[in-house]
Amino acid sequence: QVRLARQHVHQQAGLLGAAESLCDAAALIVDELANNAVEHGSSYRRAGAMLSVDVTWSAGRLSVEFIDPEMPEQAVRELAAALQAAADGMPSLENERGRGLFLISIYMEEVRVEVAPGGGLRLLGKLSPS
């Protein structure tokens, strides 16, 4: 399913008018978010709720919204803090955690991590052409 999500995001971004490099970056980010939700969500995922991704284009920028409806509120807060820390610099190559968040902080602007209206994680960010 992650592969299909990655392909869908790449295709949708292209249809919206994004350059190939932006399509690639959006697909890479969604791949990272979905893989993390699957890997780290095994401790809380019980209802089988679907992850969702929405991609939009406005003012020459691609917006990505990712929702994990089952992520507990405490985990959302921890992710927000970890993403902020990742933006401060690349983690050690010995560190098993943090590289994906660092990647997101490099590609995305105006990243917001918050509790979704119905509960769970809502991550929003924008990608600009380089």
Indicate the pLDDT class of residue 81, thresholds 50, 70 and 90.
Answer: confident
Q: Which tens digits make up the pLDDT trace of 84-95?
A: 877 776 655 555
Cα 59 from Cα 41, distance rounded (Å): 34
40 vs 8, residue with greater confidence:
8
Please answer whether residues 76 and 114 qualify as being in contact, where contact means their C-beta atoms are separated by less than 8 angstroms.
Answer: yes
Cα 27 from Cα 90, distance rounded (Å): 21
Cα 88 from Cα 79, distance rounded (Å): 14
Q: Which tens digits make up the pLDDT trace of 103-118?
A: 888 899 999 999 999 9
Cα 87 from Cα 64, distance rounded (Å): 18
Reported as half-sphere exposure (CB side, CA atoms, 13 A), residue 6 has a value of 13
> Is pTM beyond 0.85 here?
yes
